[in-house]
Amino acid sequence: SAVISQKPSRDICQRGTSLTIQCQVDSQVTMMFWYRQQPGQSLTLIATANQGSEATYESGFVIDKFPISRPNLTFSTLTVSNMSPEDSSIYLCSVEEGQTYNEQFFGPGTRLTVL
Amino acid sequence: AQKVTQAQTEISVVEKEDVTLDCVYETRDTTYYLFWYKQPPSGELVFLIRRNSFDEQNEISGRYSWNFQKSTSSFNFTITASQVVDSAVYFCALKGTGGFKTIFGAGTRLFVKA
Protein backbone atom coordinates (compact mmCIF):
# COMPACT_ATOMS: atom_id res chain seq x y z
CA SER A 1 0.00 0.00 0.00
CA ALA A 2 1.01 3.60 -0.53
CA VAL A 3 2.94 5.28 2.24
CA ILE A 4 1.37 8.62 3.15
CA SER A 5 3.02 11.25 5.29
CA GLN A 6 1.58 14.47 6.65
CA LYS A 7 3.18 17.59 8.03
CA PRO A 8 2.81 18.87 10.64
CA SER A 9 1.71 15.99 12.81
CA ARG A 10 0.17 18.42 15.26
CA ASP A 11 -0.02 22.13 15.87
CA ILE A 12 -1.51 24.63 18.25
CA CYS A 13 -2.60 27.82 16.54
CA GLN A 14 -4.13 31.13 17.47
CA ARG A 15 -7.57 32.18 16.39
CA GLY A 16 -7.58 34.10 13.11
CA THR A 17 -4.41 32.56 11.70
CA SER A 18 -4.06 29.99 8.91
CA LEU A 19 -2.31 26.65 8.77
CA THR A 20 -1.22 24.70 5.70
CA ILE A 21 -1.08 20.93 5.99
CA GLN A 22 1.04 18.95 3.58
CA CYS A 23 0.37 15.44 2.32
CA GLN A 24 3.03 13.44 0.51
CA VAL A 25 2.50 10.02 -1.09
CA ASP A 26 5.29 7.69 -2.13
CA SER A 27 3.58 6.77 -5.40
CA GLN A 28 1.54 8.56 -8.03
CA VAL A 29 -2.17 8.61 -7.31
CA THR A 30 -5.02 10.10 -9.27
CA MET A 31 -7.28 11.11 -6.44
CA MET A 32 -6.48 12.46 -3.04
CA PHE A 33 -9.02 13.17 -0.34
CA TRP A 34 -9.05 15.45 2.67
CA TYR A 35 -11.10 14.52 5.72
CA ARG A 36 -11.86 16.22 8.99
CA GLN A 37 -12.46 14.37 12.23
CA GLN A 38 -13.77 16.57 15.00
CA PRO A 39 -13.16 15.41 18.59
CA GLY A 40 -15.02 12.19 19.29
CA GLN A 41 -16.66 12.21 15.88
CA SER A 42 -16.51 10.25 12.67
CA LEU A 43 -14.73 11.29 9.49
CA THR A 44 -16.23 13.92 7.23
CA LEU A 45 -14.99 14.41 3.69
CA ILE A 46 -13.90 17.99 3.03
CA ALA A 47 -12.93 17.71 -0.61
CA THR A 48 -11.54 15.55 -3.37
CA ALA A 49 -8.39 16.77 -5.09
CA ASN A 50 -7.41 15.69 -8.59
CA GLN A 51 -4.18 16.80 -10.16
CA GLY A 52 -4.65 19.51 -12.74
CA SER A 53 -8.15 20.51 -11.74
CA GLU A 54 -9.86 22.39 -8.95
CA ALA A 55 -10.81 20.46 -5.87
CA THR A 56 -14.40 19.33 -5.46
CA TYR A 57 -15.82 20.40 -2.11
CA GLU A 58 -18.51 18.67 -0.10
CA SER A 59 -21.55 20.43 1.20
CA GLY A 60 -20.63 22.68 4.10
CA PHE A 61 -17.04 23.23 3.01
CA VAL A 62 -15.89 26.14 0.85
CA ILE A 63 -12.72 26.94 -0.99
CA ASP A 64 -12.17 30.24 0.84
CA LYS A 65 -12.02 28.44 4.15
CA PHE A 66 -10.19 25.29 2.99
CA PRO A 67 -8.12 26.06 -0.10
CA ILE A 68 -6.46 22.98 -1.57
CA SER A 69 -3.55 22.62 -3.94
CA ARG A 70 -2.64 19.55 -5.98
CA PRO A 71 0.44 20.45 -7.99
CA ASN A 72 1.39 16.88 -8.94
CA LEU A 73 0.40 13.24 -8.53
CA THR A 74 2.20 12.73 -5.22
CA PHE A 75 1.49 15.88 -3.23
CA SER A 76 -1.35 18.00 -1.94
CA THR A 77 -1.88 20.74 0.62
CA LEU A 78 -4.91 21.77 2.64
CA THR A 79 -5.04 25.20 4.24
CA VAL A 80 -7.33 25.92 7.15
CA SER A 81 -7.92 29.65 6.92
CA ASN A 82 -8.93 32.22 9.52
CA MET A 83 -9.11 29.55 12.16
CA SER A 84 -11.50 29.43 15.08
CA PRO A 85 -11.68 26.96 17.99
CA GLU A 86 -14.36 25.05 16.04
CA ASP A 87 -11.66 24.08 13.52
CA SER A 88 -9.87 22.05 16.18
CA SER A 89 -9.84 18.58 14.63
CA ILE A 90 -7.71 15.89 13.13
CA TYR A 91 -7.23 16.48 9.41
CA LEU A 92 -6.51 13.38 7.37
CA CYS A 93 -5.20 12.95 3.88
CA SER A 94 -6.29 9.84 2.00
CA VAL A 95 -5.63 8.08 -1.30
CA GLU A 96 -7.22 5.22 -3.16
CA GLU A 97 -5.39 2.13 -4.30
CA GLY A 98 -6.08 -1.34 -5.50
CA GLN A 99 -7.08 -2.82 -8.82
CA THR A 100 -10.43 -1.10 -8.73
CA TYR A 101 -9.18 1.87 -6.73
CA ASN A 102 -11.45 1.04 -3.87
CA GLU A 103 -9.02 0.49 -1.06
CA GLN A 104 -8.63 3.76 0.72
CA PHE A 105 -5.60 4.44 2.86
CA PHE A 106 -5.02 7.29 5.25
CA GLY A 107 -2.13 9.40 6.35
CA PRO A 108 -1.27 9.66 10.06
CA GLY A 109 -3.32 12.83 10.41
CA THR A 110 -2.62 16.36 11.60
CA ARG A 111 -4.00 17.14 15.04
CA LEU A 112 -4.92 20.82 15.12
CA THR A 113 -5.85 22.78 18.23
CA VAL A 114 -7.05 26.35 17.84
CA LEU A 115 -6.97 28.57 20.92
CA ALA B 1 -28.78 8.00 -0.25
CA GLN B 2 -26.06 6.00 1.40
CA LYS B 3 -25.79 5.50 5.12
CA VAL B 4 -23.77 3.49 7.60
CA THR B 5 -25.07 2.85 11.09
CA GLN B 6 -22.95 1.66 13.97
CA ALA B 7 -25.46 1.54 16.77
CA GLN B 8 -22.94 0.64 19.47
CA THR B 9 -21.25 3.81 20.66
CA GLU B 10 -19.01 2.13 23.22
CA ILE B 11 -18.34 -1.46 24.19
CA SER B 12 -16.34 -2.57 27.19
CA VAL B 13 -15.08 -6.14 27.55
CA VAL B 14 -12.57 -8.02 29.63
CA GLU B 15 -9.53 -9.47 27.96
CA LYS B 16 -10.10 -12.83 26.24
CA GLU B 17 -13.78 -12.19 25.71
CA ASP B 18 -15.17 -12.30 22.19
CA VAL B 19 -16.80 -9.11 20.94
CA THR B 20 -18.88 -8.30 17.88
CA LEU B 21 -19.14 -4.83 16.40
CA ASP B 22 -22.27 -4.24 14.38
CA CYS B 23 -22.55 -2.38 11.11
CA VAL B 24 -25.71 -1.85 9.09
CA TYR B 25 -25.66 -0.03 5.79
CA GLU B 26 -28.03 1.44 3.23
CA THR B 27 -27.35 1.91 -0.44
CA ARG B 28 -29.20 1.77 -3.74
CA ASP B 29 -26.12 0.70 -5.64
CA THR B 30 -26.02 -2.91 -6.74
CA THR B 31 -22.23 -2.90 -6.60
CA TYR B 32 -20.59 -1.42 -3.55
CA TYR B 33 -17.72 -1.90 -1.17
CA LEU B 34 -17.65 -2.19 2.59
CA PHE B 35 -14.68 -1.49 4.83
CA TRP B 36 -13.58 -1.69 8.40
CA TYR B 37 -10.91 0.61 9.84
CA LYS B 38 -9.27 0.70 13.25
CA GLN B 39 -8.27 3.97 14.89
CA PRO B 40 -6.08 3.40 17.97
CA PRO B 41 -5.47 6.19 20.49
CA SER B 42 -2.53 7.43 18.41
CA GLY B 43 -5.04 8.58 15.80
CA GLU B 44 -3.98 6.93 12.58
CA LEU B 45 -6.58 4.99 10.62
CA VAL B 46 -5.61 1.41 9.92
CA PHE B 47 -7.30 -0.39 7.02
CA LEU B 48 -8.57 -3.82 8.13
CA ILE B 49 -10.70 -5.23 5.33
CA ARG B 50 -12.60 -4.50 2.12
CA ARG B 51 -15.60 -6.51 1.00
CA ASN B 52 -17.26 -6.37 -2.43
CA SER B 53 -21.02 -6.59 -2.57
CA PHE B 54 -20.91 -9.59 -4.88
CA ASP B 55 -18.71 -11.62 -2.54
CA GLU B 56 -20.63 -12.77 0.51
CA GLN B 57 -18.01 -15.15 1.80
CA ASN B 58 -17.14 -14.55 5.38
CA GLU B 59 -13.54 -13.86 6.11
CA ILE B 60 -11.24 -14.74 8.95
CA SER B 61 -7.87 -13.19 9.62
CA GLY B 62 -6.29 -14.40 12.83
CA ARG B 63 -8.53 -13.28 15.69
CA TYR B 64 -10.61 -11.10 13.37
CA SER B 65 -13.60 -12.30 11.39
CA TRP B 66 -16.23 -10.55 9.32
CA ASN B 67 -19.78 -11.64 8.61
CA PHE B 68 -21.31 -10.06 5.52
CA GLN B 69 -25.07 -10.60 5.16
CA LYS B 70 -26.56 -8.89 2.14
CA SER B 71 -30.08 -9.97 3.13
CA THR B 72 -29.89 -7.87 6.29
CA SER B 73 -27.48 -5.23 4.92
CA SER B 74 -25.03 -5.97 7.68
CA PHE B 75 -21.27 -6.32 7.83
CA ASN B 76 -20.37 -7.27 11.38
CA PHE B 77 -16.89 -7.59 12.79
CA THR B 78 -15.93 -10.07 15.51
CA ILE B 79 -12.76 -10.06 17.55
CA THR B 80 -12.08 -13.40 19.22
CA ALA B 81 -10.16 -13.57 22.50
CA SER B 82 -9.85 -9.79 22.69
CA GLN B 83 -6.64 -8.19 23.88
CA VAL B 84 -5.87 -4.81 25.43
CA VAL B 85 -4.20 -3.76 22.16
CA ASP B 86 -7.56 -4.10 20.45
CA SER B 87 -8.77 -1.04 22.34
CA ALA B 88 -9.56 1.52 19.66
CA VAL B 89 -12.35 3.13 17.73
CA TYR B 90 -13.56 0.98 14.87
CA PHE B 91 -15.22 2.48 11.81
CA CYS B 92 -17.35 0.73 9.25
CA ALA B 93 -17.50 2.44 5.84
CA LEU B 94 -19.36 2.12 2.55
CA LYS B 95 -18.49 3.15 -0.96
CA GLY B 96 -20.90 2.84 -3.84
CA THR B 97 -20.12 2.97 -7.51
CA GLY B 98 -22.14 6.09 -8.15
CA GLY B 99 -19.43 8.40 -6.89
CA PHE B 100 -16.08 8.56 -5.24
CA LYS B 101 -17.21 9.30 -1.73
CA THR B 102 -16.72 6.85 1.12
CA ILE B 103 -19.30 7.13 3.87
CA PHE B 104 -18.18 6.37 7.41
CA GLY B 105 -20.24 5.21 10.32
CA ALA B 106 -20.07 7.03 13.63
CA GLY B 107 -17.61 4.50 15.00
CA THR B 108 -17.65 2.12 17.95
CA ARG B 109 -15.20 2.70 20.76
CA LEU B 110 -13.95 -0.60 22.15
CA PHE B 111 -12.36 -0.80 25.58
CA VAL B 112 -10.61 -4.04 26.44
CA LYS B 113 -9.69 -4.27 30.11
CA ALA B 114 -6.87 -6.43 31.39
Q: Do A48 and B45 touch (CB under 8 A)?
A: no
Length of chain A equals: 115
Mean pLDDT across chain B: 92
Interface of A with B (CB under 8 A): 1, 31, 41-43, 45, 48, 58, 90, 92, 96, 98, 102-109, 111
Q: Which residues does chain A have within 8 Å of residue B35's beta carbon, measured at their own beta carbons?
A: 104
Chain A nearest C-alpha distance from B105 (Å): 7
The confidence score (pLDDT) of residue B42 equals: 85
Averaged pLDDT, B44-57: 87
B107 interface with A at CB cutoff 8 Å: yes
Averaged pLDDT, B66-85: 95
B47 interface with A at CB cutoff 8 Å: yes
Smallest CA-to-CA distance from A37 within B76, B91, B98 is with B91
Per residue in A29-86, pLDDT (tens digit) is: 888 999 999 998 999 999 999 888 889 999 999 999 999 999 999 999 999 999 999 9
Inform me whether the pLDDT recorded for A1 exceeds 80.
no
Local structure of residue B77 (DSSP, 8 states): E
Measured in whole angstroms, the distance separating CA B28 from the mean position of its chain's CA atoms is 20
Q: Do A109 and B105 touch (CB under 8 A)?
A: no
The confidence score (pLDDT) of residue B61 equals: 86
Averaged pLDDT, A83-107: 86
Q: Which residues does chain A have within 8 Å of residue B44's beta carbon, measured at their own beta carbons?
A: 106-109
Residues β-bridged to residue A13: A114
Within B1-114, residue ranges assigned H as helices are: none
Q: What angle do CA A31, A111, A25 make, to 5 degrees?
A: 30
Q: Do A42 and B47 touch (CB under 8 A)?
A: no
Q: What percent of chain B has pLDDT over 70?
A: 97
Smallest CA-to-CA distance from A107 within A86, A79, A76, A80 is with A76
- The minimal CB distance from A31 to the residues B35, B91, B100 is found for B100
